[in-house]
Amino acid sequence: MNLDATQRDALSEIANIGVSRAAKQLSLLLDDAIDMRVPDLRIAELKDVCALLPEAHCDASLMTVYQGLDGYISGRAMLMFHSEESRALAQALVGNVPPIDGQDMRAFEHEAVMEIGNIIISSCISVVADILGREIILTVPSYGEDTLPNLLRQDWHHGASADMRVMVMHATLRAAHRDVNGTLLIVLTLQSMQALLDQVSHLVATHQSRLDGATAD
């Protein structure tokens, strides 16, 4: 399943609107000027995802926030950070708060990472839903630490992975005091991915038709 130039441009624009919305919320949450961009977007089969990512993404343990998707599209969204980068974000959110009642500081970090991940994922998915005019339901966020191949295998039953496609979006988060690179994966059933691309193509064609009509007038 290959994207043509029009589909890639449209999806990239949608993704950047989503992360821009997330950046505004994170700026308030972290009390820092946040800028986010999605410089690259591709679609691949589940088995080929690692080939599109830096080697460290597939070999190292990643901090990952993931949420299930249902409604117009069915699958899962996964936001991944390298452990040290996500830990720096978490520290910016929770500060140097000492453990309370014997709780491990890592529990606070996990909650902070989930909050950040939920903001980014929900912002991107809500923009997709708004632009397409379709309902997309998100489950509550979950947290995991593992290598990407293991994370991709989780929750998919026998043979299900063969019918999945992945939208791979590299996200760059820049702040006054830190730069963080993450990857957002939208893992969808083949049917959902095709429905999404068809709807995007329809919207682009409708927009172009209106522009052509306005020019003719």
Give 106-129 pLDDT, tens digit per residue.
677 778 888 888 988 999 999 989
What's the rounded Cα separation, in Å, for the pair 80 and 101? 30
| Residue 73 token pair | 């599209």
Residue with tokens 């308030």: 28
Q: Tens digits of per-residue pLDDT, 184-199?
A: 899 888 888 988 888 8
Question: What's the rounded mean pLDDT across residues 76-93?
Answer: 72
Mean pLDDT across the stretch 194-206? 87
CATH of the domain at 40: 3.40.1550.10
The yes-or-no verdict on residue 70 having pLDDT over 80 is yes
Mean pLDDT across the chain, nearest whole number?
A: 79
The fraction of the chain above a pLDDT of 70, given in percent, is 77
- pLDDT (0 to 100) of residue 68: 92
Q: Kindly state the tokens that stand for 101.
A: 């009642």
If one counts the domains in the chain, the total is 1
Task: Judge contact between 169 and 184, C-beta under 8 A.
Answer: yes
3-state secondary structure the chain: CCCCHHHHHHHHHHHHHHHHHHHHHHHHHHCCCEEEEEEEEEEEEHHHHHHHCCHHHHHCCEEEEEEEEEECCCEEEEEEEEHHHHHHHHHHHHCCCCCCCCCCHHHHHHHHHHHHHHHHHHHHHHHHHHHHCCCEEECCCEEEEECHHHHHHCCCCCCHHHHEEEEEEEEEEEECCCEEEEEEEEEEEHHHHHHHHHHHHHHHHHHHHHHHHHHHC
Is the pLDDT at 178 greater than 80? The verdict is: no
**pLDDT score for 104:** 63
pLDDT tens digits, one per residue of 139-165: 999 988 888 888 877 655 444 556 788
Tally the C-alpha atoms within 13 A of residue 198's C-alpha that lie toward its C-beta: 8
Contact 85, 182 (CB under 8 A): yes
What pLDDT, on a 0 to 100 scale, did the predictor assign at position 91? 65
Q: Is the pLDDT of residue 94 over 60?
A: no
Dihedral pair phi/psi, residue 146, rounded to 5°: -175, 175
Reported confidence tier of residue 86, pLDDT bands at 50, 70, 90: low
Predicted pLDDT at 139: 93
What pLDDT is recorded for position 105? 60
Which pair of structure tokens corresponds to residue 185?
């994966």
What residues make up the domain containing 156?
5-216
pLDDT for residue 92: 62
Judge whether residue 102 has pLDDT over 50: no
